[in-house]
Amino acid sequence: MPVSPAALNAALAQVDATIDQSLERLKALVRIKSISTDPAYAAECRRAADWLVADLKAEGFEASARATPDHPVVVAHDTTAAGPHVLFYGHYDVQPVDPLDLWNSDPFEAVLKPQPDGDTHIVARGASDDKGQLLTFVEACRAWKAANGTLPIKVSMLFEGEEESGGKNLPGFLKSAAAELKADVALVCDTDMWDAKTPSITTMLRGLVGEEIEITCASHDLHSGMFGSAARNPNQLLAEIVASLRNPDGSVAVSGFYEDVRELPPDVATQWRNLGFDERAFLGGAGLSIPAGEKNRSVLEQVWSRPTCEINGMIGGYTGDGFKTVIPARASAKISFRLVAGQDPRKIRDAFRAHVRTRIPADCSVSFKEHGASPAIAVPTDGAFLRRALGALADEWGREAAITASGGSIPVAGEFKHLLGLDTLLIGFAHVDDRIHSPNEKYNLTSFHKGIRSWVRILAAFAA
């Protein structure tokens, strides 16, 4: 049932009237040192989960912390309303704070720092990634309930405690709770705005295949004077194989790599061209000036919608101080592929291994080690939920929201699609300068405040 303008305005007014209380709740949550990668903080992770459960129960949700082999998952439901059902995901765990001496304040005490542009930075570990973002949705639901008694649609929430440490227990949990978590669409608030004044919805995420190869030639390290030239050098062989992975035009040379790659829809390509992306500034920020990907592809296409092959590390021979004239017996490399929608991670892994094996001489050998795999996702750009969310964001921010993609991988979105059959809208209010995972992480107060208001509007739009 459509939401009346009066109900929407009441919820928005409630957000504005209680923003100080919302900020105090964010401060309370960031005080909890929920560092998931360090076993010493396991109790703090449990405390963060319990804090969320208590807060959601106070808000009228049916909420509980569910045990996993490591940190608990928080699940909450309020399905009393009519209309569609959304599943909102966030994570309460945070990265370690090291190096501590680079912080300008206590990482777990949120400090408000006014800025010359009139905004205020909320500085603390987790302020942006992901406690501040997570609470924008929780606070939006609180405002709806306080102003109108009920939510406008059915809402479930899923808060993970291991996103920053690999999320290895989430797929198993999703499988076991698939029936309970059934919904119409998933929402994730763990991404950036296009710029400080332009909201965005990420509709494409690249998948990932990670591989480690080790090439063995001689049975042991050899003296380069006595065996040089006659003995196969695994460093040389590895370099040749690595070089063979890319063509001179920047494309990937693995056979069949592009078989399942589709072209960008024309309307999305047009929208991207109109974003005003500055390729020169993007590369210049990394001290570069010449795009190295596929020729005749824009930089945005190269990092958002085209698959890649990258060499992440190479090890072989003596790498210590000084010099050692040795031909090593082994050399290894770590290689990753970023995939786009339609590509099968298993197919790409098999094609890569076949590419390598055909280049190994008969008296040498190669071994492979997997380092994870996840498919890419792409949300249809004509979907009703996407279009309504875009309209709601435009109403709040006073400008058209950007439809963007991400060159990175957010495995949970792929898991929602694969295990729950849900498309995911990634709607975040972070800024690219939020220093996530780094000292002095921050979240803009405007992002927090208008993020809450944005979710209020999106819930109303979905009710229609």
Q: What is the reported pLDDT for 375?
A: 86
Phi, psi of 103 (to 5 degrees): -80, 140
Please give the mean pLDDT across all residues of the chain: 96
Q: What is the pLDDT of residues 332-356, one digit of tens each?
A: 999 999 999 999 999 999 999 999 9
* Fold classification of 207-261+307-374 (topology level): Alpha-Beta Plaits (3.30.70)
Q: Report the relative pairing of strands 200-205 and 402-406 from DSSP bridges.
A: parallel
Degrees to nearest 5, angle at CA 43 with 40 and 47: 140
Phi, psi of 310 (to 5 degrees): -130, 145
**Whole-prediction pTM value?**
0.86
Task: Answer whether 36's CB lies under 8 Å from 45's CB.
Answer: yes
Asked if pLDDT for residue 411 goes beyond 90, the answer is no
Could you tell me the two tokens for 80?
A: 């009393």
Q: Place domain 5-205+376-463 in its CATH homologous superfamily.
A: Zn peptidases (3.40.630.10)
**Got the DSSP string for 317-345?**
S--SSS---EE-SEEEEEEEEEE-TT--H
Quick: pLDDT tens for 165-183. 989 999 999 999 999 999 9
H or E element, residue 17:
helix 5-17
Q: What is the per-residue DSSP string for 312-323? A: EEEEES--SSS-
Dihedral of the CA atoms 418, 420, 421, 423 (nearest 10)?
-90
Question: Rounded CA gap, 242 and 235, in Å?
Answer: 10
* 96, 37 Cβ separation under 8 angstroms: yes
Q: In what order do the strands lie in the sheet with 207-216?
A: 308-316, 330-339, 207-216, 365-374
- Residues contacting 380, CB < 8 A, separation 6+: 386, 423
Pick the closest to residue 445 from 131, 25, 10, 19 (CA basis).
19
What residues contact residue 133 under an 8 Å CB cut-off, 6+ apart?
Answer: 90, 189, 190, 428, 429, 430, 443, 451
Q: How many CB atoms lie within 10 A of CB 288?
A: 11
Q: Could you tell me which of 90, 192, 215 has the C-alpha nearest to residue 140? A: 90
| Residue 453 clears pLDDT 80, i.e. is over it | yes
Query: For residue 464, is pLDDT > 90?
Result: no
The four Cα atoms 227, 232, 238, 241 give a dihedral, to 10 degrees, of 150
Half-sphere exposure of 376 (CA within 13 A, CB side): 28
Angle between helices 131-148 and 445-463 (to 10 degrees): 50
Residue 278 reports pLDDT greater than 80: yes
Report pLDDT digits (tens) over 108-165: 999 999 999 999 999 999 999 999 999 999 999 999 999 999 999 999 999 999 999 9
Q: Looking at the predicted structure, is the pLDDT value of residue 2 above 90? A: no
- Ramachandran area for residue 188 (φ above 0: left; ψ -120 to 50: alpha; else beta): beta
The domain spans of the chain are 5-205+376-463, 207-261+307-374
Enumerate the β-bridge partners of residue 88.
157, 187
Q: Are 133 and 430 contacting, i.e. CB atoms less than 8 angstroms apart?
A: yes
Cβ proximity of 316 and 328 under 8 Å = yes
Percent of the chain, pLDDT > 70?
100
Which DSSP category does 124 fall into?
A: S
What is the arithmetic mean of pLDDT over 319-328? 95
Burial 80-111 (b: 16+ CB within 10 A, else e): ebebbbbbbbbbbbbbbbeeeeebeeebbebb
Q: For Cα atoms 202, 204, 205, give the angle at the middle one, nearest 5 degrees.
A: 100
Q: Report the candidate in 458, 434, 462 with the shortest Cα–Cα distance to residue 131.
A: 434
Does the pLDDT of residue 238 top 80, yes or no? yes
In the predicted structure, residue 423 carries a pLDDT above the cut 90: yes
**pLDDT at residue 198 tops 90:** yes
Distance CA 55, CA 337 (A): 41
Among 170, 140, 165, smallest CA distance to 155 is for: 140
**pLDDT computed for residue 185 by the predictor:** 98
| CATH topology match: 5-205+376-463 vs 207-261+307-374 | no
CA 410 to CA 186: how far, in whole Å?
13
